Chains A and B, each alone.
Chain A
Amino acid sequence: MSEALWKDYIERIEALAARSGLSFHPVEFEAVPDSFMMEIAVYGLPVRMPHWSFGVRYIYQLIQRHMGHSRLFEVVFPGNPGHAYLASGNGLAENVLVTAHVLGHADFSRNNLLFQRCQAQVSEHIVEHAANHARQIQQAIETHGLERVEAVLDAALALEQHIDVDQSLRRSRYPEYAEPAKAIADDQFRRRFAALEPAAGAAGPEAKRRAPVPPHPERDLLWFVAQYAPEMESWERDIFLAVREESFYFYPVFATQIMNEGWASYWHARLLREADFIPQQAYVDAIKCHSDVVRPVAADSQVALGLNPYHLGFSMWEKIVERQGLEAALAIRAQDDDFAFIRNHLTRELADELELFRYSARDGQIRVLEPDLSALHEVILAPKYNFGAPTVMAKHIRSDGTLELVHDHSLDGRGLDLERSRKVLDYLQRIWRRPVLLTTVNQAGLVLELSAP
Chain B
Amino acid sequence: MSTQTDSHQPLDPAKWYDLFSRGARDWLRHDEKVRDSVRRHLPQIVAGGDLITGGARTVRVPMKMLEHYHFRLRKAEENQGAGQGKVKPGDVFADPSQAEGSGEKGPGGREEGEVQLLLELKIDDIVDWLWEEMQLPNLKTRVGPSEETEWVREGWDRRGARSRLDRRRSFKELVKRRGAPGAIPTFTDEDLRYRQLARRRKPAVRAAVFFLLDVSGSMSDRDRKLAKTFFFWTVQGLRREYRSLETIFVAHTTEAWEFAEPEFFQVSGSGGTVASTGFAKVNEIIHERYNPATCNVYLFYASDGDNSMSDTAEAREGLAAIAADACFTGYVEVSSGLSRQLDTETGRLFAELGAAGGATGSYALNDYEDIWSAVRHFFSAESRTAEGA
Which residues of A pack against B, CB within 8 Å?
A: 32-33, 35-36, 38-39, 41-44, 47-48, 50-61, 63-64, 134-135, 138, 154, 157-159, 161-162, 254, 296-297, 301-307, 354-362, 364-371, 376, 379-380, 382-383, 387-390, 392, 407, 412-418, 420-421, 423-424, 427, 443
Contact = CB atoms under 8 A, between A and B. Distances in A.
A359 B70 contact: no
Given A54-B22, A161-B70, A361 B78 contact: yes
Contacts of A359: 80-83
B77 A44 contact: no
Contacts of A414: 73-74, 76
B72 interface: yes
- 4 closest A-B pairs by beta carbon, nearest first, are A303-B85, A55-B26, A53-B68, A55-B30
B87 to A, nearest CB: 5
B33 interface: yes
- Contact-residue bracket for chain B: 35 or more
Contacts of A390: 71-73
Contact of B96 (A305, A415, A427): A305
A63 B29 CA distance: 18
B17 A36 contact: yes
B21 to A, nearest CB: 7
Contacts of A305: 81, 83, 96-97
Contacts of A301: 85
Nearest to A372: B89
B18 interface: yes
A368 B81 contact: no
Contacts of A297: 84
Interface in B104-153: 106-111, 113, 115
B30 A52 contact: yes
Contact of A364 (B23, B71, B80, B95): B95
B85 A365 contact: no
A66 B207 CA distance: 51
Nearest to A44: B108
26 contacts: A33-B17, A50-B25, A53-B26, A54-B22, A55-B23, A61-B23, A63-B113, A135-B1, A158-B69, A158-B71, A161-B70, A303-B83, A304-B83, A306-B84, A307-B83, A358-B80, A358-B83, A359-B83, A362-B77, A365-B95, A371-B89, A379-B80, A388-B106, A392-B71, A412-B73, A420-B71
B293 interface: no
Contacts of B83: 303-307, 356-359
Interface in B248-282: none
Contacts of A36: 17
A423 B71 CA distance: 9
Contacts of B245: none
A134 B79 contact: no
Contact of A158 (B31, B68, B94): B68
B27 to A, nearest CB: 4
Contacts of A365: 92-95
A416 B28 CA distance: 31
Interface in B47-83: 65-83
Contacts of B26: 50-55, 58
B13 to A, nearest CB: 9
Given A32-B17, A366-B92, A39 B84 contact: no
B176 interface: no
A307 B21 contact: no
A60 B113 contact: yes
B89 to A, nearest CB: 5
Given A33-B17, A39-B21, A416-B74, 5 more contacts: A39-B22, A158-B69, A161-B70, A368-B89, A420-B67
A56 B74 contact: no
A305 B88 CA distance: 14
Contact of A361 (B31, B68, B79, B111): B79
A49 to B, nearest CB: 9
B115 A415 contact: no
A52 B94 CA distance: 37
Interface in B226-245: none
Contacts of A33: 17-18
Given A52-B33, A367-B91, A423 B78 contact: no
Contacts of A421: 69, 71-72
A417 B94 contact: no
Nearest to B28: A55
Contact of B90 (A44, A367, A420, A443): A367
Contacts of B76: 413-414
Contact of A389 (B17, B71, B113): B71
A6 B81 CA distance: 42
Interface centre among A60, A161, A387, A392 (most CB of B within 10 A): A60
